[in-house]
Amino acid sequence: MKEVTRKIPKKDALGITLGKPVYTEDLAPKNALFVKILRSPHAFAKIKNIDTTEAEKVDGIECILTYKDVPRVPITRAGQGYPEPSPHDWYILDEYVRYVGDEVAIVAGKNEKCVNEAIKKIKVEYEVLEPVLDFEKAEGHSSIIHPEKETHPMFEIGFNAEKNIAASYEMEIGNIEEELKKCDVVVSQRFYTQAQAHVAFEPHTAASYIDMHGRLVIISSTQVPFHVRRIIAEAFKIPIKDVRVIKPRIGGGFGGKQAVHGEPFVAAVTLKTGKPAKIVYSRQEVFEATYSRHPMRYDVTLGATKDGKLKVIDIKGLSDTGAYGEHALTTFMVAGSKTLPLYNKVDAVRFSGKVVYTNKVPAGAYRGYGAIQGNFALESTIDILAEKLGMDPLEFRKKNMINEGETSPIFKIMGEGREGVEMIVRSCKLNECVEEGKKLIKWDEKFPRVKVSETKIRGVGMAIAMQGSGIANIDMGSAILKLNDDGSFNLLVGATDLGTGSDTILAQIAAEVLNVPTEDIIVYSSDTDLTPFDVGAYASSTTYVSGNAVKKAAEKMKKLIIKEGALKLGLDESKVDFDGKYVYEIDGDKKVSLKELATVLLYTEHQKQLIAEASYVGPESPPPFMAGFAEVEVDIETGKVKLINYVAVVDCGVTINPNLAKIQVEGGLVQGIGMALYEDVKYSPNGKLLTNNLMHYKIPSRVDIGNIIVKFAESYEPTGPFGAKSVAEIGIDTPPAAIANAIYNAVGVRITSLPITPEKILLNLKK
């Protein structure tokens, strides 16, 4: 390969490094009205009266909107697929507020100062209601969080607003109870995973204006521009053709921007006033009023024979979706669908549970998307079972895990919010990942523990994981290639680069097919007017789904170039080929350069613009795999955990750009380590978020994460572009379980609730 597998710098790297205006706020109209939101001080209340009289008198105020001034259309903000399975339970503004930070009024003015002054002058009379703050007590609580009659489910998914249930699900293969009776060893354990904030460096930002044709244009730091267009059109009851969404560079998303957030508020102001508007969330608003990861509880029961055959997996879950049901069902189902197939040789498997509403910050998409929660519970219990069997947990996994050429019935039964697809795993180097990780961490020397001093003990632990590559039969990407008169190409894609480097990856794929330098592929992405449709950046889909579309488009372009080159040379198409520089006669001396051909095509001979387009929907979702190994040092006097080494060996197929793939895995690992050891969303007794700034919400810095080693297994996925699978999410999944297992192996303390803090370890040591 010439361009694929090259360590090419990201196409936008230089511009961002030089501070060029590339982000949403940079590109917002200079005369845009400044928009801010009056937010609820109560976790649950009904607005009895809003008086904006004094606020409207503030000099510079252009517009104040309440729930009486905007369309009352129930929507889901979740930007994923269509129809999206989440309940339609959110309104641009509503008479109910359902968490501290929920929107009460939209205020727009000529500057931030006047808007802040006006917000203080708005008088709101609330009927304060009893909030639901404990998700284990939400079902059947006397307070009904969504009593409004307009809220409705998209599908019949166990939705029951009267009982605060946003979704429920149950799946069973085989007879759990009968198979458990045949097991020699049975273990059961309950686990809790916490909410987690995304902490993308760029806060949520959106701007809007009316163009010369009277259409609404939105500039947004979004992962899903085409979904934003559809959702905004639905919310305001306007035709989709009258909405345009432009996505500039994004300063991180991680799933937190896989929805509409500020876009409806600027749109409401622009539609009301006819003037441009922009909103830039404060860091406090990002914490308090966007998304967090779904907190979950899992009860896991495993059964095995004494020779180490895993026979039964039974997982029952409870998920906290917060005030609104975005991604409620899909995230919960992924917790099973992206973990259960790892152990595909069981005789019986069951996955069931509910997703409940609470009066807390809404939960939504976050890298790992349910899989990390399920992985922590399952992979921790695997270690518990292996110990009870007297087996090395590494060898127990190897005996029971999925291998290349195998399948799992889970693939067919469980998708994301709906049924999945049958699939044979064509590429799976999980065994190689485990073996390589074993060597790199020096498992045989260090397992289970090494005493460093009288007070410090080191232990090693591991976990395995799988993800997917887009959502099969749902996620679609498309691409357009255009030949320019100097022989370069424009690549137009709806795919959304979040800073991951997908623009570069897609350019490399096109360049590889055309045998031209990646520098000759000029990428323009994510403008709903100018680029072809793409579902957006989520579900680890871009390289696999959008990459396959780009590859198909490039193959079409190559055929067009050969056809026109043959015409120029006066030869039959079968007699010529294209090497990236020349269309040449295979068995002769005739040739024409690509640059010359492009020039004459546009200006003088057989004039036409060469354009090739293609779309791709994955009929399956080939999973990447990973083995993660943690080495920790535990101070038994303080309970402090120091992460010494983390080894990640990943099978993501062919790495289109090894540097970018490595960075993706490293970034995921750091977020997984943060969830395991540091990050904790905390609330006051009345439901106010306490960890609403970076002083109180701890994310790991470079000094906290020890030595990270990332390796890639040699693998080739036959359905992927040049053998590639996804790599964006797989890195995040294993750290919680691997670190928890390492801590147990070091000091014999099994922590079952995240994050794993020194206090929890010390208390358990004292017990």
User: Tell me: the pLDDT tens digits for 167-220?
Assistant: 999 999 999 999 999 999 999 999 999 999 999 999 999 999 999 999 999 999
Counts for the chain of helices (H) and strands (E), in that order: 20, 27
Q: Look at residue 141 and tell me if it is in a domain.
A: no
Q: Look at residue 300 and tell me if it is in a domain.
A: yes
pLDDT, residue 83, reads 87
Contact 558, 573 (CB under 8 A): no
Average pLDDT, the chain: 97
**Side-chain-side CA neighbours of residue 235 (13 Å):** 28
Per-residue pLDDT at 265 exceeds 80: yes
Under the phi-then-psi rule, with left for phi > 0, alpha for psi from -120 to 50, and beta for the rest, what region is 174? left
Same domain, 319 and 452: yes
Same domain, 281 and 349: no
Same domain, 118 and 230: yes
Same domain, 578 and 639: no
Q: What is the mean pLDDT of residues 405-418?
A: 95
pLDDT, residue 417, reads 87
Same domain, 403 and 545: no
% the chain with pLDDT above 70: 100
Q: Look at residue 148 and tell me if it is in a domain.
A: no
Q: Look at residue 5 and tell me if it is in a domain.
A: no
Q: Residue 315 is part of a domain; what is its CATH number?
A: 3.30.365.10
How many separate domains does the chain show? 3
Q: Are strands 205-210 and 277-280 parallel, antiparallel or unpaired?
A: antiparallel
Q: Residue 88 is part of a domain; what is its CATH number?
A: 3.90.1170.50
Q: Rounded to an integer, what distance in angstroms lies between the CA atom of residue 477 and that of residue 616? A: 6
pLDDT range class, residue 118, cuts 50, 70, 90: very high
User: Tell me: the pLDDT tens digits for 539-580?
Assistant: 999 999 999 999 999 999 999 999 999 999 999 999 999 999
Sheet of strand 456-466: strand arrangement: 449-451, 456-466, 625-635, 641-651, 707-712
- The residue from 576, 592, 617 where one domain ends is 617
pLDDT, residue 155, reads 80
pLDDT range class, residue 233, cuts 50, 70, 90: very high
Q: What is the mean pLDDT of residues 660-666?
A: 97
Q: Which residues of 144-271 form beta strands (DSSP E)?
A: 165-173, 185-193, 205-210, 216-220, 243-246
Q: Look at residue 156 and tell me if it is in a domain.
A: no
* Domain span at 113: 13-129+201-252+257-289
Per-residue pLDDT at 156 exceeds 80: no
Same domain, 739 and 639: yes
User: Tell me: the pLDDT tens digits for 416-432?
Assistant: 988 999 999 999 999 99
Q: Look at residue 191 and tell me if it is in a domain.
A: no
**pTM (global) more than 0.85:** yes
Closest C-alpha to 400, from 524, 324, 310, 299: 310
pLDDT, residue 679, reads 98
Q: What is the mean pLDDT of residues 368-376?
A: 98
pLDDT, residue 84, reads 86
CA 596, 601, 603, 605 dihedral sign is: positive
Contact 470, 460 (CB under 8 A): no
Joined tokens for residue 323: 């005030």
- The residue from 272, 289, 306 where one domain ends is 289
Q: Look at residue 153 and tell me if it is in a domain.
A: no
Q: What is the mean pLDDT of residues 489-504?
A: 96
Contacts for 741 with CB less than 8 Å, ≥ 6 apart: 379, 380, 383, 393, 461, 462, 463, 630
Same domain, 611 and 499: yes
Contact 193, 736 (CB under 8 A): yes
Joined tokens for residue 754: 């995240």
Q: What is the mean pLDDT of residues 36-64?
A: 98
**Strand, helix or coil at 744?**
helix
Contacts for 700 with CB less than 8 Å, ≥ 6 apart: 670, 673, 674, 677, 678
User: Tell me: the pLDDT tens digits for 69-115?
Assistant: 999 999 999 999 888 899 999 999 999 999 999 999 999 999 999 99
Same domain, 100 and 35: yes
- The residue from 265, 289, 313 where one domain ends is 289
Per-residue pLDDT at 750 exceeds 80: yes
Same domain, 394 and 420: yes
Same domain, 463 and 519: no
pLDDT range class, residue 767, cuts 50, 70, 90: confident
Q: What is the mean pLDDT of residues 306-316?
A: 98
Q: Look at residue 160 and tell me if it is in a domain.
A: no
Same domain, 225 and 97: yes
DSSP states of 521-587: EEEEE-BTTTS--B--S-TT-IIIIIHHHHHHHHHHHHHHHHHHHHHHHT--GGGEEE-SSEEEETT
Same domain, 214 and 274: yes
Q: Rounded to an integer, what distance in angstroms lies between the CA atom of residue 42 and that of residue 97? A: 8
User: What does residue 737 show for φ and ψ, rounded to 5 degrees?
Assistant: -70, -45
